[in-house]
A and B are shown apart, each in its own frame.
Chain A
């Protein structure tokens, strides 16, 4: 069999395989996973996971509530994963994103607070000043416009990523080490900022960032007037931002010089340098963008939860890396796509919701998550080898 299938027949088959984008495999895996959960759920809980034929709660045959949470619960880590994907495509790694989320959450949230809660001074305020012998929230640093905490958050994210990038590009230390250092230090900053105290009670504007309806805000309410399904997007802003940012970065990675240079560095750094690409500057840019996305994720996370805590974002970096890897982004660089990472994030979402729907404990969830991460890479390697042995 081996003898004959090496001929034209085999080649034809391989060529078909080769033109089939990797994202299609991930998508098929996603569908299979949904099918598996539907099947087990049918016997175990007597209910469908994604469909809702009987009660028709949302006016469709879909269980919109579950579909919404599947996307919502992965969208904040998904936003981080968009940046991590670009870093991994350059052949690097970013271990700092979870800690950068924690650090940014604490600092940005401090600028998003109200001075008063139910008529009392905000007891979670960070900036205090003395008025009539009492420590109260500093008036001019509270009830600020929502742009202030957003800009603070984005700048801190960019700064953290910039530091990562500069160390990697100009001192030549491995990305693993540089971002490991940032991971430890940023978590230290998060803990130091308020000495571990939570920062809570943001302004209504800040609350609306994650809990409002972005599509409605952007269209000045036209959206809700013109479409009956608009409620589906209430409180879904993290998911909407995730999808919009994914589309934006998909375009950037496929159709701009920034994208082409990023892939070029990951494929062959020396060749990229020799062909005139400013590799160092490009790397700093990629890490800074990853940091900015982590900062933005922190803003959405604190807005969604109405609080910032120094333990926020713990091990998010590993989930973000896993999403990218499941989506077919190669850790050796140069290969993968934003679309793949989005599909990887969806697989995570299906697993989390699927296990709750089956009423199985979280233990099994993590066991299966681990197996899927390793399984995805094994399959990818196997597929790679087949393609190169052709």
Chain B
């Protein structure tokens, strides 16, 4: 796989056709699983197109570094820019920088705060974050009712980085679902951050287990933390049939865990589709074609019943 991408990358460099288009890409983090799948979607899709070159850079979760990268892209005369923004509230400066130079800009995966006031040659490709937490929490609520716990159930919530919009949105989705009449019976014992990390989630869950509280559900903001919690529960001898665990992302690791009967619910966000969609939108803008400024790619609920459809997806 790696060699394949390398080879196509070199081939793309060699192919200096007159129609070549260059797209500058700034990704919030290279070491994030989900963003990596999305990045692969961009790279592979661009490689399949004739004369499209991507220049991908890592913003390493630094807003200032990301703005510098965009200015560098503008200065080197790229045909379009794709930004997976580090901080959703920092979009104004980036929009202004690209707009002043007349370079088309596409925000991908994370919804910038200025999404409703974008200039004509800028667009946004992502999934609507409100769906993800809601889908997972509602399914968990249904599973708990089906298990006969509608008289009262208790649970924990593992949250992503507290400064991250997706973590905030997904956590709020869960709280909102627990607020509706049908799901009020679920009570959160505690909610803490495990910074999206499997390792931290594992330690946090073990700490929770050590207090001996009875619980029936664990909501996690992503699959990695759900897997960490599952590993902690398995190590402590908890029967996974008695606990509903939810995640988000439908990663391969999560689907393997679901196949083993441990993870109950996850939500598929089409990372690859977002990546390739952002490249298409950027090219359309660069060629002056008419595009939708908000392209939403829907989330899908994943349970043991339909998990086979997603095996190779993320």
Counting CB contacts under 8 A, is B203 at the interface? yes
Residue of B nearest to A119 (CB): B259
Instruction: Kindly state the separation between the CA atoms of A161 and B108 in the bound complex, as whole angstroms.
Output: 40
Q: How many of chain B's residues have a CB under 8 angstroms from any CB in A? A: 44
* Residue contact B30 to A310, C-beta cutoff 8 Å: yes
Q: In the complex, identify which listed stretch (A65-73, A216-224, A284-292) lies at the interface while the others stay far away.
A: A65-73
Q: What string of 1s and 0s marks CB contacts (under 8 Å) between B190-205 and chain A? A: 1011000111001110
The tally of CB-CB contacts under 8 A between chains A and B is 113
Q: In the complex, identify which listed stretch (A190-198, A263-271, A330-338) lies at the interface while the others stay far away.
A: A190-198
Q: Which residues from B are CB-within-8-Å of A304? A: 199, 202
Q: Which residues from A are CB-within-8-Å of B289? A: none
B interface, over-half SS = helix
Instruction: Kindly state the separation between the CA atoms of A382 and B228 in the bound complex, as whole angstroms.
Output: 43
Instruction: Kindly state the separation between the CA atoms of A309 and B36 in the bound complex, as whole angstroms.
Output: 11
Counting CB contacts under 8 A, is A301 at the interface? yes
Residue of B nearest to A55 (CB): B212
A305-B202, A307-B198, A312-B199 as given contacts; A69 in contact with B210, CB under 8 Å: yes
Distance between B41 CB and nearest chain A CB, rounded to angstroms: 13
The residue among B32, B36, B231, B236 with the most chain A CB atoms within 10 A of its own CB is B36
Distance between A189 CB and nearest chain B CB, rounded to angstroms: 12
Distance between B274 CB and nearest chain A CB, rounded to angstroms: 16
Counting CB contacts under 8 A, is B39 at the interface? yes
Size class of the contact patch on chain A: 35 or more
Listed A/B pairs (12) with beta-carbon separation below 8 Å: A65-B212, A72-B206, A128-B1, A195-B30, A198-B251, A305-B202, A305-B228, A306-B231, A306-B253, A310-B31, A352-B203, A363-B162
Chain A residues packing against B (C-beta within 8 Å): 45, 47, 52, 55, 57, 63, 65-66, 68-69, 72-73, 117-118, 120, 123-124, 126, 128, 135, 190-191, 194-198, 200-201, 211, 234-235, 301, 304-307, 309-312, 352-353, 356-357, 359, 361-363
Given A72-B206, A123-B312, 19 new contacts (CB under 8 A)? A66-B211, A68-B206, A69-B206, A117-B256, A124-B253, A135-B1, A195-B2, A195-B40, A196-B30, A196-B32, A196-B35, A197-B36, A201-B253, A211-B235, A304-B202, A309-B31, A356-B204, A359-B190, A363-B162
Chain B residues packing against A (C-beta within 8 Å): 1-2, 4-5, 29-33, 35-36, 39-40, 58, 162, 190, 192-193, 197-199, 202-204, 206-212, 227-228, 231, 235-236, 251-253, 256, 259-260, 311-312
